[in-house]
Amino acid sequence: MSDLEAWRAKAAAWCESVVPQFGKAARKGLTVEEDLALGRRYQSAKFDAGFAGINWPTELGGQGLGHIEKITFEAEEMKHGFPNVYFGISLGMPVPVLMQFGSDREFVKERVIKALKGEEIWCQLFSEPSGGTDLAGLRTRAETDGNGWKINGQKVWTSWAQYSDYGVIVVRTDPTVAKHKGLTYFWVDMKAPGVTVRPIKLAGGDSHVNEVFFDDVKISDDHRMSPVGGGFAVALTTLMIERYVATDSAGFGPHLDLFVDLAKELTLNGKPAIEDGRIRQQIARNYAMRAGLDSINRRARLMMQAGMTPGPEGSLNKLVAVRSRQKLSELALDLQGTDAFLFDEHLSPKDDWATSWINAPTGRIAGGSDETLLNTIAERILGLPQDHRPDKGVPFNQIPA
């Protein structure tokens, strides 16, 4: 058994062992607050067992292992539906950025360990009503105020802000230069006076994203994590961190065998649905697509294991998988006919077709819409021209709103 296989076995065994405490059955019927509390206990147990911060430095509470060990653990973890979603953003981007750019190392160490144990949660304050995909178009501003800064403006789509202790934020500090040159990157205390968090209820019924308002929020200059005017580069670093995460070719929706089971149970025009050519074609096409993604992901893991950098084809997962999940979920509802009307928003999108269907659009938008991803593939991988950008090089305060 290779070292990695031994690691996988150890990870799988630990995950199995905590299923009674933290698995799907244990979470059933909990309110979000109860589930979050369970999640904090899960994160703490994970820390104690040596599975938190797997590829982070040991001096900051991590395990000092590689990225491959991290995604190997996550692949095992993903099988059980543990309450870890609250920490995904926190440990995925803001905390690694803090590790890299935070200047007060004692403070950094304390925050990182508390985040790893689930005691503190960080959010990422990037998107704004006027700057989502166009990140550099943001309008929240910070002005110098004594020996610190004063923040005013509004962020939106901020995941888990209502439960966050801290956040990283990009704001405009100079409106007289080209839009991406006037940005600066800070961290903020989410409990500071002037910070208001208002949850947004989404189509699927949950409220994990928020609007966050900043009214004269004062921060000292030691909260700054980039040079003044150098925030865009740090923001890009945030977005580039750990491009390879544990992916799911089902687009985080139901696995294809559930669809096959459904088609075997139900009839269509008096015949088993599994014998219907339209249904068969969708099963086959979806299988071929998902198998392709699985193979791409397996190859990426092997490459990382061999010390190589995986190819750019890893970027296809979200684009292709979530799109197909949306359509397959529609078809699953079609198959059930009016029986599909019965809806329970608390069911998991991983095994309920209606929940999968109503939440699929979020997956196609969050983290880059299909259109953004296609532009990225076209421009970064294939070398096609950039879109026309009339605001290029124009000082921010001269761009027509």
Partner 1 sequence: MSILYDEGQEAIATESRRALEARMNKDDLLPLLQSSGKYHDGFWAMAKEQGWTALALPEEHGGLALGLVELGLIAHQAGRTLSGAPFLTSSFGVAKAIELYGSDAQKARWLPALAGGEAIGAVAFASGPAPLPEQPVVTLTDDRLDGVAAGVSGGLFADVALVFANGPGMPVLALADLSGVGRSVVESFDNSRCIADIAFAATPAETLVVGEAARAAALGILSLQAVVTAHEQTGGAEALMEVARDYAVTRKAFGQPIGAFQSIKHRIAELYGLVELARANCVHAASREGQPDFITAAAAARLSATEAYDTAARDCVQIHGGIGVTWEIGLHLHMRRARTLALEQGSSLFWEDVLVDRLAGEAA
If one asks whether residue 292 binds partner 1 (CB under 8 A), the answer comes out as yes
| Interacting residues with partner 1 between 368 and 387 (CB under 8 A) | 371, 374-375, 377-379, 381-387
Does 54 sit near partner 1 (CB under 8 A)? no
Phi then psi for residue 92, to 5 deg, are: -80, -45
CB of 384 to partner 1, least distance (A): 4
Rounded Cα distance, 75 and 9, in Å:
12
From 79-87, 151-159, 163-171, 279-287, give the range in contact with partner 1 by CB under 8 A: 279-287
Distance, in Å, from the CA atom of 251 to the CA atom of 262, rounded to the nearest integer, reads 19
Q: How many CA atoms lie within 13 A of 258 on its CB side?
A: 16
Is residue 298 involved in binding partner 1 (CB under 8 A)? yes
- As measured in angstroms, the least distance from the Cβ of 320 to partner 1 is 6
State the Cα–Cα distance between residues 183 and 136, nearest whole angstrom.
8
Cβ proximity to partner 1: between 218 and 323 the closer is 323
Q: Applying CB under 8 A, does 316 fall inside the site for partner 1?
A: yes
Interface with partner 1 (CB under 8 A), residue total 42
Q: E-assigned strands of 173-314?
A: 183-189, 195-200, 209-220, 267-268, 271-272
Question: 């990382």: which residue's tokens?
Answer: 304
- Binding residue (CB under 8 A) for partner 1 from 233, 246, 303, 366: 303
Q: How far is the CB of 175 from partner 1 (least distance, A)?
A: 29
Residue 372 Cβ, how far from partner 1 at the closest point, in Å? 11
Among 245, 289, 365, 366, binds partner 1 (CB under 8 A): 289
- Minimum distance from CB of 399 to partner 1 (Å)? 21
Site for partner 1 in 243-272 (CB under 8 A): 256-257, 260, 263-264
Q: Which residues contact 350 (CB under 8 A, 6 or more apart)?
A: 81, 250, 252, 253, 254, 255, 356
**Best CA proximity match to 167, nearest among 197, 186, 188:** 188
CA 168 and chain centroid, separation: 15
Which residues, 6+ apart, have CB-to-CB distance to 209 below 8 Å? 156, 157, 158, 159, 161, 199, 200, 202
Residue 230, Cβ neighbours under 10 Å: how many?
16
Contacts of partner 1 in 317-346 (CB under 8 A): 319-320
Residue that has been written with the tokens 């803001």 in this structure: 94
Distance CA 237, CA 234 (A): 5
Of 4-12, 123-131, 168-176, 299-307, the segment contacting partner 1 by CB under 8 A is: 299-307
Is residue 291 a contact point for partner 1 (CB under 8 A)? yes
Interface residues with partner 1 (CB under 8 A) are: 256-257, 260, 263-264, 274, 280-281, 283-285, 287-289, 291-293, 295-296, 298-299, 302-303, 306, 313, 316, 319-320, 371, 374-375, 377-379, 381-388
